Structure formats: C-alpha cells, structure tokens
Amino acid sequence: MSRRPPPGRRLLLKGALGAGALAAVPGTAHAMSPAAPAPHAPAPSAPAAARYTMTAFTNTSESNMYVYESSDATTYTLLKGPAYTPPSGLIRDPSIIRRGDGDYWIVHTTDWTGNTIGFARSADRVNWEFAGTHTLPTAGTARTWAPEWFVDEDGSVHVLVSLDLTGDYTFVPHLLSATGTGPGDWSEPRPVAGLDTSNYIDTFVVRHDGRYHAITKQETTKYLEHAVADRLEGPYTFLGTGDWAGWGSWREGPALVRLPDGGWRAYFDGYAEQKYWYSDSHDGLTTWTPLRELPGLTGFARHFTVLKEDV
C-alpha cells in the first residue's frame, strides 16, 4: 500500500462419478436360474468442488468491502456488495481466512496513517460484523498497511503487515502471531528477517514443498519479488528480483491461491494502468504464464485476497 499519488494507489476468492453397472454372469442352455450379479467395485470418490471467495475494496470506495465467489478462480460473481462497512475509517486491503471457530475473518488497513489494524467476522461470508481493532505497540509507527493472514500447517494463525517506522514511506514487513482468538490477542510485532532492509510492502506468504515463499512488493522499484525461507519469520533469501516473472513494474497487492489442478495462481493490482492481472505457475512458483486481465473485475476491484475451500 504505497502513497496514493501517483496514480492513486488502491482506490481502487461435484462432479459425481456414476456407480458401475451390474455385470451379468452368462448362462448355458441347461442353466435355468438367473445369473447372480457380480459384486460392485467400490465407486471412486468424487473430487471435492472448489469454492473461491474474494474480498476486495474497489476503485469507487475504500470504505466498503465487496465479496465475490468463483468455482474456477477466474470467473467471479458478486456474493454481496457492499458487504461490510467498518464503523469508522477504511477497509483497504481486506484479507480473508476461515479460523478454527468456523467463522470467516477479515483483517484490513484502517487508515492511511496510524498504528491499528481492523477485524470483521462472518458466519456465512455474506453478513459481516465489526470484530474490533488492534493497536500495534511498535514505537514510532507512522503507517500500518496491507495486513495479510497466514495460517501455518500446524494451525497457528499469523498476520504479516507493513510498518513505516520513519514517517518517510519506507516500510518493513512485520509478523504478528495469534496468542488467542480475540482481535487483540497478538504477539509483539517482529521484523521479518531478510525483508527488513530494503523497503518491502504487501508481503504475501504461502507454504510450498516445505518452505515459505513470499511474494512481496519492492516499494522503491515497484516490482513484485520472490523470496524463500525455512521459517515463517525468516531469514528470507531472494530467488527472483526485478522483472524475474515477466510481470512488469508498478504492481502491488499480490495474492496467491491453489488452482483446481494443483498449480498456483497469483493475482495482483496493476494500479498505474487501473487493471487487475493474474498469472499461473505449474512448476513450484518458478516460472509464470503471461499476464491476463481478471474478467469482470479488472479496473474495479482493488487489493484483494482469495480463500480456496473444498465444498
């Protein structure tokens, strides 16, 4: 979440298989009784259908959240919009997860300046309620932007957030870990090692092949870069810098999600041209397909995340 000018950053988630047929045992000229049916082979399990839920703010409002749904991660339909407006402030960069209590939770940017992040929750993805704010205790925090959820394989819940500690739009990614289930139950923010020295923002982390992969915006050059670590808190080592993926610059707000075929999709905001892009990888986040615009939402949706569920 960079400075608004230029050019206005971020004003702008079954097929059933039929059972096998009966096999008849052939009779003979002397066999008068009906043939016994052969035993059924076990029917293969139907693959779970994917449901993708997207939470976004828009080019027309940074105080209202819209919720969209898709079965293929490409074509999204509006579930509700506006779906939620916080009691005060903004709802930029809304990030969604489903927590252990079964509810869906949003964490979001609350303002252009300050040291808080906001929360909302929902039982059905449609009706949302304010769940509170959390004030980060880090001294000197001038801006608190683009919080992103991360749920680790052990079920632990974390938030990665970008902090400006100098007041000059230089950002350092920090990690908060949940110490309870309430909106204020968080550890002290701690810098993410390896991402803490060169103005990184909008950090999105996924777990792949036993390692933590971060796609993060280099706020000075405006490229999305790729770093890996053996631990969530780092230290991270960069595998791809500059235009390593062919996505170009002036990109931000990356969000990654698994595709139905097992590959990865990266969405990101082309805020300078007011377009929303996606790109896919099928080799472990190494190479990526050429950019494509997200149909129906490019030019309208802004920095969003997508939650994939099997339903």
- The answer to whether residue 173 is domain-embedded is yes
Structural domain harbouring 142: 50-310
Query: What pTM did the predictor assign?
Result: 0.85
Please report where in the chains the tokens 């293969």 appear, as a residue: 44
Q: Give the span between the Cα atoms of 147 and 134, in whole angstroms.
A: 12
- What's the CATH code of the domain at 264? 2.115.10.20
Residues 195-210: pLDDT tens digits? Answer: 998 899 999 999 999 9
Q: Give the span between the Cα atoms of 51 and 17, in whole angstroms.
A: 19
- The answer to whether residue 14 is domain-embedded is no
Q: What is the DSSP letter of 36?
A: P
- The answer to whether residue 5 is domain-embedded is no
pLDDT at 1: 66
- The answer to whether residue 192 is domain-embedded is yes
**Segments of the chain scoring below 50 in pLDDT:** 4-39
Residues 272-297: pLDDT tens digits? Answer: 999 999 999 999 999 999 999 999 99
- The answer to whether residue 254 is domain-embedded is yes
Residues 139-176: pLDDT tens digits? Answer: 999 999 999 999 999 999 999 999 999 999 999 999 99
User: Number of structural domains, the chain?
Assistant: 1
pLDDT at 3: 52
Which helix (H) or strand (E) segment is 119 a member of?
A: strand 116-122
